[in-house]
Amino acid sequence: MSREETTSSGVQTPTNDSLLDKSIQEQKKDSTEEDLPELPKKSTKEYLVVATLCLLVAFGGFVFGFDTGTISGFVNMPDFKERFGQLNGSGEYYLSDVRTGLMVSIFNVGCAIGGIFICKVGDVYGRRIGIMFAMVIYIVGIVIQIASQDAWYQYFIGRLITGLAVGTVSVICPLFISEVSPKQIRGTLVCCFQLCITLGIFLGYCTTYGTKTYSDSRSWRIPLGLCFAWALMLLGGMVSMPESPRYLIEKSRIEDARNSIARSNKVSVEDPAVYTEVQLIQAGIDREKLAGNASWKELITGKPKILRRVIMGIMLQSLQQLTGDNYFFYYGTTIFKAVGLKDSFQTSIILGVVNFASTFLNIYLIERLGRRVCLLAGSVSMFVCFLIYSILGSVNLYIDGFENTEENTRKPTGNAMIFITCLYIASFASTWAGGCYCIISETYPLRIRAKAMSVATAANWMWGFLISFFTPFITSAIHFNFGFVFTGCLLFSIFYVYFFVYETKGLSLEEVDEMYASGVSAWKSANWEPPSVAHMAHSTGYAADEKPGDEQV
């Protein structure tokens, strides 16, 4: 029999034999090329389930923020200084700049190590297990800190261990959120991680403000006990969290992936849109598998344009630190003291309120304006703030010399600098703080996402270490002229974002990969149109419901 038969109308139709020879992939392509169902766009209320799940993951940011907010208060507490400090000539206990710098900044070193190495647990055993493992490490570090009696190096070791955990969480949590959330609200949900960080910082400030009246170790052990409690809450929450569908499909657990997508989007497992979503993810993973298993070398040699993306991530995370936000949180206390507000705990709370409140604006703007516009607007506004701030501080604040007393400062200038400080923090929190995490979490293909994010985040932590450790020494030497260094970095960031940062608003993670492969320029990326859903679903040789090991024909 011939491979095809001819009907009376002259049209050739395939026989059973020809259908057997036709590949599974071609059949599926024929049946779905015209119209593939997508997960429906919904109102904000209808995204409640997935938003709640992502907020649970974002709570990892709260753990990080609370830890950060409390340590700044500990170093000013009498009992803490008596246990871990030194005696000066007048018989008073104090923490030297070196010891303070080490105890505070070693946390960043731990974060960098955890962000590069321990986060691999999330690739091997899943995002949920990775976060749970990190919280176990965090609890160990907190216990070591609470148990410290008078050996500063024991507290130092505890800080290093908690840093390992926080570095791991800072990579896995944004990655997890970006893989679970729908593309329509992904930017908003990823920014919730930053919102939780700022909430944690603010409540950490409030907690130390409330415990500073204790004259014994309760002043710092109670906040550490709360750190322990937050870690337990996150650990318990991960038990009921659905796993990332992209991770599950990569591990060939297709049915589990369908269940995860259906649960996150509050639809039936049998919904055709779930089938399409699995197809799209599977197609993206298959494209990545064609290049083989990802290695560290692939961060340099991978395609499409992996090295460019890795460098962009490193630059964005580095520039986030070099915008100078940590400088403001450190030196802001000095400015407030200069105009009569001597309580550093109150200073921290004021800055914390501005930081937290402004992060809500970031959640709104990131989806309305896009990632690039947010970063560009933030760079410009922070550049102006820092320039004015540095000029006022270096030229007009002090009357005679650099003695930081009320008598030697011009109060109107100090008040203006306080206002600019708050304006700067509002600009940072509403743009770069969450926008940077958002872009990084959306930029990389699945096979290298954890590795690339860990490298980028490690750059952030290392710059954080350098700035937090050396700022006290540099500001003592050159005072407000140090601000001009950050002003220059902000000017550079304007040009870097414009020419090298791609717009990822409204794109699926697979479409982002297509955008880089298309060769579009960064400054034109906001107008780039992704291929059709059908094209994306059939751009590789696997179909979503094929079993692992099915032959590609």
pLDDT one-digit tens code per residue, 340-356: 666 777 878 888 899 99
Instruction: Indicate the range of 80-84, 203-207, 274-278 predicted with least confidence.
Output: 274-278
Render pLDDT for 399-439 as a digit per residue (tens, 0 to 9).
777 666 667 778 888 888 888 999 999 999 999 988 888 89
The reported pLDDT for the residue numbered 536 is: 58
- How close are the terminal C-alpha atoms of the chain, in Å? 24
Rounded distance between C-alpha atoms, residue 175 and residue 32, angstroms: 30
The pLDDT, as a whole number, for residue 490 is 97
Q: Flag the least confident range among 94-108, 126-140, 244-258, 378-392.
A: 94-108
Return the closest-CA partner of residue 338 out of 397, 405, 402. 405
Ranking 7-16, 150-159, 435-444 by mean pLDDT, the lowest is 7-16
Q: Select the more confidently predicted residue: 410 or 141.
A: 141
Which residues make up the CATH 1.20.1250.20 domain(s) of the chain? 42-241, 307-501
Q: To which residue do tokens 């992904």 refer? A: 186
Rounded CA separation 110/458 (Å): 10
CATH 1.20.1250.20 matches 42-241? yes
CA distances from 431 to 215, 270, 373, 382, 426 (A): 40, 40, 9, 10, 9
Q: What is the pLDDT of residue 10?
A: 42
CATH for 307-501 is: 1.20.1250.20
Q: What is the 3-state secondary structure (H, E, C) of 178-210?
A: HHHCCCCCHHHHHHHHHHHHHHHHHHHHHHHHH
In which band, very low, low, confident or very high, does the pLDDT at 219 lie, cut at 50, 70 and 90?
Answer: very high
CA dihedral 213→217→219→221, nearest 10 degrees, is: -160
> What is the Cα–Cα distance from 91 to 317, expressed in whole angstroms?
43
pLDDT of residue 533: 62
pLDDT per residue as tens digits for the range 446-489: 778 878 888 998 899 899 889 888 887 887 788 888 889 999 99
